[in-house]
Structure 1
C-alpha cells in the first residue's frame, strides 16, 4: 500500500462546517448577528452561507432561506445515498470474498454487530470505491463520521466547544490520515496460482458489482423507516439500487451538484 500526502483545504473545511451549521439552524438553533463566545469561530461559515443566500437575517437572528433548504436537502440526499450504497464497502474480507453486511439482518444485538465489524479481517474499501466513481474522498470520510456518531456533539446537542474543533480540530487530521492510508485499486491486484496477473481495477470492479447486488438484497424491500434515525436521512428511491448494480461507475446525480456555486 502506498501512502499518499493528503491536505484538506481550508475552503473544504469551511464548506462542511457550513453545512452542519445550516442543519443546526434548520433544527432551531439561534445565532445572533453579533456572534458570541465560541460561535465567533464560525464567522467564516456564516459569511459563506450569507454570500450564497443560504441564510438571511430576521430580527437580528440568522434564519435558513429557501436556497438553504435546497442545499440541505442535497446534503441529506448524499448522506442517505452514502448509507445505502457505499457503507457496505466499509467491511470486506478480501481473502474470503465476503462482505460483513451479508450478516446485517442476522445480528440483532448492536454490541455484537459492532464486535463483528471490529474483526481484523475486514478492509475498508469506501475510499477506493468513491475514487473510482469520482467522488471526493473527503466527503465520504465526513459522512462516515456523521454516520458513526463522531459529530453527534454538533448535530444532536446544543453544547458549546464544538465550533473550534469543527474548523481546525483533530477530526480533519484524522480524515486526512484515513484518506492517506486507505486501500486503492492498485493495492488490490494479485497473481493467481498459475501465474495469471489480475489487476487491482478488475478486483475493485468485481467488489463494486457484488456490493451493489448485496445492497439491492439488503435494502430494496425494506421500509424507508429503517434508515438510521438521524436528522440527515431521507426516504430512498429504490430504483437507485438497480442503477448502481447495472453500472459500476454509477453515482446518483446529486453527487455532481455543488453545495456552493
Structure 2
C-alpha cells in the first residue's frame, strides 16, 4: 500500500519538522525563521505499517506574480494537484489566520483529500488554536506536535482509511514482463546478467555541484524535461540537497541538486552555514 502525502501550510508552521518526523531522518533544514524550505523535497515516509511518499513543500505565500515567493507557491500548488492526500498544517499557538482561510479555500477546490493538523499543540498553549481550526471547514483538526512526536497515532488513524480509498481509486497496474527469452548471442555476451548496470532498484546517482547561480537547478530541469526545481535570477535559491528520480537516455538515475558552494570565509548567513 503506497500513496503520496503532501505537507502544505504557511511558512514556519512546522512542515519540515513534521517531514523529518515521518521519514525518520533529519533530511530537511529546520530553523525558527520562516521561508527556509523553497523546493519540493520527497522522502520515504512510514507511520506504523503505512508506507508512503511524503513531500515537504515551501510555505504558501499570498503571491501570484513571478517573484521568488510566487514561483515557490506555484511549485507547492503543483504538489497539491499531484498528491493523493494533503496534510494542511496550521500553527495552534498562533491560531487560524486570514492566510490559512485563504489557502484552505484553495485546498477545498484542488486537493483530492485534505487532513488538517494543528501543530505545536502540546500543553495548554495550543488549545484555543486547535479548536479554532474547526472553522476552516475541512473536518476535525488533529492536535499534533511534530517536534515532540505527539499525535502521530491520531494521524495514523485518519490516514489508514484514506490510504485504502486511494488504493481502490488507483487504476490497475500494467503487468510486468517476467519471462523473457534471450538469444544465444545475448546469453553468450552475458547481456542481462551484469549486476553493475543501473536499475530502478539501484539507479545511477549523480550530484550536481558548483557555485551559487551557476545554473545547477536549470540544468537538472532540462535533463528531466520538466520544471521540477525552483529556478530564477536570484543567487542561492536552492538551500536543501534535493533529489529527483528520472530515466535519462534509458538509464535510471537519481540526480541530487545541491546548494551553491562558496568559501567558508564568505558565509555569514545561518541557513547557508547549515
TM-score bucket (shorter structure):
under 0.3
Structure ranking higher in helix proportion: 1
Structure number with greater Rg is 2
Higher relative contact order (CA 8 A, sep 6+): 1
Q: Give the alignment's TM-score, normalised by structure 2.
A: 0.26
Q: Give the alignment's TM-score, normalised by structure 1.
A: 0.27
